[in-house]
Homo-oligomer: A and B are copies of this chain.
């Protein structure tokens, strides 16, 4: 069973479009919030990883399935967990729900490659392996 983390926030007016619901690209912003807070929950502050260890989490793929529309001022919960991690990449998965109704709004995943400031792939420093659930002797 994977560890997960749930983050909550309210839908911003800026996030809606003229259909009266949240514009679809904003779910990817919400996933970003989810994974940052997930990282914080496992003891990794993404900002420090970027500033101190010069490791960036570039995105290789993003996917979102939209199940029900989210509305302005709805409280939304993003549940985030790691599906697979490796010294060179990590995949996150997400479930997005409306808090009040419990209704599932969307599910999705993002696949990431660890990169240096030059955006070339690097291996994640060992000190982060445990937090990301990478075993001691991973196959590269």
A residues apposed to B, CB below 8 Å: 9, 12-14, 16-21, 23-26, 28-29, 32-33, 36, 45-47, 56, 58-66, 69, 72-73, 110, 119
Residues B58 and A19 in contact, CB atoms below 8 Å apart: yes
Seed contacts A46-B73, A60-B66; 11 additional CB < 8 Å A-B pairs: A13-B23, A14-B25, A14-B29, A17-B18, A19-B56, A19-B58, A21-B119, A25-B26, A25-B29, A47-B72, A62-B66
Known A62-B64, A69-B119; judge A24-B18 contact (CB<8 A): no
Which residue of A17, A46, A60, A63 has the most chain B CB atoms within 10 A of its CB atom?
Answer: A17
Listed by A's residue number, 9 A-B pairs whose Cβ atoms lie within 8 Å are A12-B29, A14-B17, A19-B58, A25-B26, A25-B32, A60-B66, A61-B66, A62-B63, A62-B64
> CB-CB < 8 A to A62: which residues of B?
24, 62-64, 66
